[in-house]
Amino acid sequence: MDIEAAKLIGAGLATLGVAGAGVGIGNIFANYVSAGIRNPAAAPKMFGSVILGFALTEAVAIYALVVAFLILFK
């Protein structure tokens, strides 16, 4: 196998973390909306935790992209 082909395969596999992060972000906001509908008084109190969860999940996607770029261009 050519080294360039191995780099492309590795970078493609590294970007699977982005898809996982997308699913995680969807779950976070879906559960927030569901909980907000059940208890509207608690929704503003939960929003900070939701944003923190979003930021941490998005960080995983950014790390996956950084790893993919390192594989491609290093």
Q: Please tell me the predicted confidence (pLDDT) of residue 60.
A: 93
pLDDT over threshold 90, residue 74: no
Q: Please tell me the predicted confidence (pLDDT) of residue 41.
A: 95
Q: Is 68 exposed, middle or buried (0-12, 13-18, 19+ CB in 10 A)?
A: buried
The answer to whether the CB of 31 falls within 8 A of the CB of 42 is no
Instruction: Write the pLDDT tens digit of every residue in 14-59.
Output: 889 899 999 999 999 999 999 999 999 999 999 999 999 999 999 9
Banded pLDDT at 11 (limits 50, 70, 90): very high
Residue given tokens 């930021």 in the structure block: 55
* Distance (Å) of CA 23 to CA 15, 42, 44: 13, 24, 23
Cα R_g (the chain), whole angstroms: 17
pTM above threshold 0.95: no
pLDDT over threshold 90, residue 9: yes
